[in-house]
Amino acid sequence: MTTALRRLRNYIDGEFRDAADGRTTEVVNPATGEAYAAAPLSGAADVDAAMAAAEAAFPAWRDLIPAERQKVLLKIADRFEERAEELIAAESENCGKPVALVRSEEIPPMVDQIRFFAGAARMLEGRSAGEYMAGFTSIIRREPVGVCAQVAPWNYPMMMAVWKFAPALAAGNTVVIKPSDTTPASTVLIADIIGSVLDELGHSRGVFNVICGDRETGRLMVEHKIPAMASITGSVRAGMQVAESASKDLKRVHLELGGKAPVVVFEDTDIPKAVEDISVAGYFNAGQDCTAATRVLVHESIHDEFVAALAKAASETKTGAVDDEDVLYGPLNNANQLKQVKGFIERLPAHAKIEAGGEQVGDKGYFFAPTVVSGLKQDDEIVQHEVFGPVITVQSFSDEKQAVEWANGVEYALASSVWTKDHARAMRMSRSLDFGCVWINTHIPLVAEMPHGGFKKSGYGKDLSAYGFDDYTRIKHVMTSLDG
């Protein structure tokens, strides 16, 4: 490891620490393909220390009245705003994301989401107390689950960290969170922000801990005896491994595992408007979004016109440097992801046609051109499996029944959209589509008040909303005799 690399550290019990055995891993800026930092490659001793710190901090944090936890979260949100430029710089370097888009599309919603959960802390709900057996009163207590082991992904390192720690802390849990080994920088900065707030307000800094490392580190976290809950946003394979590991001691599990969102476009759609919105929703963040609009199903009567318009939009979509305000997206996150996206294109069947893109851009970094592929069949690999890149596929359907069958005919079930001016059709489709979210004449907007989460191999549990908050609580029945 060269001395020129910036040194990142774990954050355990209020202290920044190297890995106990001194191991590190290089962190690469995907816009350049060059290493810029060294992060701890944490092992069992580091995980033990972080879990012990979170366990020790839990009783006092759990026993705070909700208003006190709310104060902490509101202060964290304020500090995110105050240190926004630091967060933007860290995330841009982490991911190669355009600076202007991190500033406009990530900081405001993250701050809003933290403030939402600050309010949710004071809105714990349960059924009213009552007598369901003569001489006894029953009440419901909603309590935190305990220490939460959380693993965040590399596509939105900052925002996904917020989605995990904000509801967990609001509900009274303590946290050990691991960022992806390719994107630890912004999470380490978040630790500095949260730690300073906890310190200022007189709370144990062991409430929030960050462990850097790889898949083995994550496995050690999930299999550790202290956490009561494991939460991961990641691949289906990773989610299945977490569920298997957590089952050994029956930990609660919260999984958000990717998607293959169908975009069903009917013949009465406003084609220019739909193409504009769908291309943005498909290419934003280089398509590295589990809700991305990457699988278009278009009615056969407008197929050719729609494909031509979509290919034109792709050719006008720009990827490039982080300081270029005209780009829609930056690079793919890492060399392996670039290889994966290239592989899908290289393995396209003979009947597929690349209408736009299909190649790497530039001679450094992991940039890939906005791509449109048509002529595809339902059982093609690129239709059935998540590409997680700036690639939009197009299929042609004949009627509503076939559209529903093909839309639902994948193993993922996270998000979907329907494009039509027919209200009754939109309502039928929203009922028939087997996905956790159905957008109508739009695709990808999210709000803190509404849940995000899927079915099937997209996992279970909800992020955001009161439903996401409830996932970090447990329910206790208390019954008392009225005889004294």
| Cβ neighbours, 10 Å, residue 248 | 10
Active site residue 256: yes
CA distance 452 to 248: 27
Q: Please tell me which residue in 55, 256, 355, 386 is annotated as part of the active site.
A: 256
Catalytic residue status for 437:
no
Nearest Cα residue to 459 out of 179, 263, 148, 246: 246
Catalytic residue among 223, 290, 355, 437, which? 290
Closest by Cα among 234, 157, 229 to 189:
157
Q: What's the CA gap between 56 and 164, in Å, rounded? A: 20
Contacts of 336 (CB under 8 A, 6+ apart): none
Distances 149 to 52, 176, 229, 243 between C-alpha atoms, Å:
12, 5, 6, 13
Please give the torsion angle defined by the CA atoms of residues 333, 336, 339 and 344, in that order, rounded to the nearest 10 degrees: -90
Round to whole Å and give the CA distance between 58 and 144: 10
Residues 6 or more apart whose Cβ sits within 8 Å of residue 386: 258, 259, 260, 290, 412
Taking alpha carbons only, the member of 208, 151, 206, 209 closest to residue 183 is: 151
Residue with tokens 């956790």: 436
The residues annotated with a catalytic role in the active site are 256, 290
